[in-house]
Copies of this chain bind each other. A is one copy, B any other.
Amino acid sequence: MPDQSAVKAALAAQKIETPSWAYGNSGTRFKVFAQQGVPRDPQEKLADAAQVHAFTGVAPTVALHIPWDRVDDYSALAKYAQDHGVKLGAINSNTFQDDDYKLGSICHPDAGVRRKALDHLLECVDIMDATGSRDLKLWFADGTNYPGQDDLRGRQDRLAEGLAEVYQRLGDGQRMLLEYKFFEPAFYATDVPDWGTAYAHCLKLGEKAQVVVDTGHHAPGTNIEFIVATLLRENKLGGFDFNSRFYADDDLMVGAADPFQLFRIMYEVVRGGGYTSDIAFMLDQCHNIEAKIPAIIRSVMNVQEATAKALLVDREALAVAQREGDVLEANAVLMDAYNTDVRPLLAEVREEMGLDPDPIAAYRRSGWQQHITAERVGGTQAGWGA
């Protein structure tokens, strides 16, 4: 059995990055429902993220999205974050909300649009220099809606060329995290649709290029933990965008749709040595109908619970059963950890960290929600289009 104190130490050391955009409004193509108290600028997003960290103790960094979080002075923004107890994390590019990107960005048939997109990506690296961020997270909405619309292979050539230019610009200690997505917003072909495509590009780019796994970006039935295990084995797993899905890229709270899958993913992370490496554990969610800050707190807690269960797997007993080909016993060893109620253990970890054992209740008692509802009146709420 795993050593309890080691498990607790590992849990106390966990770091989960929350995304600035999850604090703003989001929705579906049908409707964006506004919520009270939503941030109106990057600073207010950071202030909310700081609350999540304050109550969970494991969410010390905040991912930015450019241009949604564009400011004049990134050093000042970093200072602002620090003053609130958090740090700036990954920089996320956006090459899908400008009218020029209707048919793509760095895969666009027109060289001028490609140049514009590349300049944006290079600007993101400039921002990384200013914020001290390690990771440039690239997700491309590029793709086509109709067969024949563009040349599938030609788009790969343009993609490779664009990525290479950005890769060259990366400084020491900086990484490129390339995200793949099965579909949406492109509905016929997506230019980076699967881990294989992302992996093939990263392999050619070099060590600083890594694949990021968004748990909502797969075809139905895909075994995500297999991909995690494989990318770890290939030293090409850069990080996660955590969220949940029942159907497509639903962007629900991580652990809400299939907590057993999340556990299996975290088990492969632990087993593959990824828990103590440079892998970035990030959330990427849309809280369309639920209160945003407590939803993010809950999401962080869900990742913690899955992690705790993964750490509790009796790996020696598992290895024995696997070696002996005892299918039922091997499965039982894994399920024993999953079926454990780890909430008391995590409550202990929090108390040892000087936190309230129940982050949701503590947040609710804190009055922050009432505070921001009262304070944040007027202005324009942040959202995907902000």
A182-216 CB contacts (< 8 Å) to partner B: 182-185, 187-190, 193-197, 199-200, 203
| Given A146-B253, A149-B322, A220 contacting B223 (CB threshold 8 A) | no
Query: Contact at B327–A223, with CB atoms within 8 Å?
Result: no
| B233-A146 in contact (CB<8A) | no
Quick one: closest B residue to A264, CB to CB? B147
Whether A75 is near chain B, meaning CB under 8 Å from some CB there, is no
**A330: Cβ under 8 A from any B Cβ:** yes
A353 at the binding interface (Cβ < 8 Å): no
Q: Which residue of B has the minimal Cβ distance to A110?
A: B325
Binds B, one of A7-15, A23-31, A123-131, A162-170: A23-31
Q: Verify A335–B148 contact, CB threshold 8 A.
A: yes
Task: With CB as the reference atom, state the residue of chain B lying closest to A286.
Answer: B29
Q: How far is the CB of A224 from chain B (nearest CB, A)?
A: 11
Is B30 within 8 A of A226, CB to CB?
Answer: no
Q: Is the CB of A245 within 8 A of B322?
A: no
The answer to the question of A347 belonging to the interface, with a C-beta cut-off of 8 Å to chain B, is no
Docked-complex contact B252 and A330, CB < 8 angstroms: no
A222 within 8 A of B: yes
Give the segment of A39-47, A57-65, A81-89, A96-104 that binds chain B. A96-104
Chain copies in the assembly?
4
In the assembled complex, the Cα of A385 lies from the Cα of B29 at a distance in Å of: 9
CB under 8 Å from chain B, chain A span 150-177: 150-154, 156-157
Q: Check A200 against B230 for contact (C-beta < 8 Å).
A: yes
Flag the segment in A48-56, A275-283, A289-297, A372-380 that touches B.
A289-297
Residues of B contacting A264 with CB < 8 Å? Answer: 147
- Tell me, yes or no, whether A352 is within 8 Å of chain B by CB: no
Instruction: Tell me which residues across on chain B come within 8 A of A27, comparing CB atoms.
Output: 29, 185
**B151 near A319 (CB under 8 angstroms)?**
yes
In the assembled complex, the Cα of A182 lies from the Cα of B220 at a distance in Å of 11
Contact of A289 among B145, B246, B332 (CB under 8 A): B145
Top 5 A-B residue pairs of the complex, sorted by shortest distance between their CB atoms: A196-B196, A148-B334, A219-B219, A220-B220, A187-B250
The chain A residues found within 8 Å of chain B, CB to CB, are: 26-31, 33-34, 96-97, 99, 101-103, 109-110, 141, 145-154, 156-157, 182-185, 187-190, 193-197, 199-200, 203, 218-223, 225-227, 229-230, 232-234, 245-248, 250, 252-253, 256-260, 264, 268, 271-272, 288-291, 294-295, 298, 305, 318-319, 321-325, 327-328, 330-335, 338-341, 343, 360, 384-385
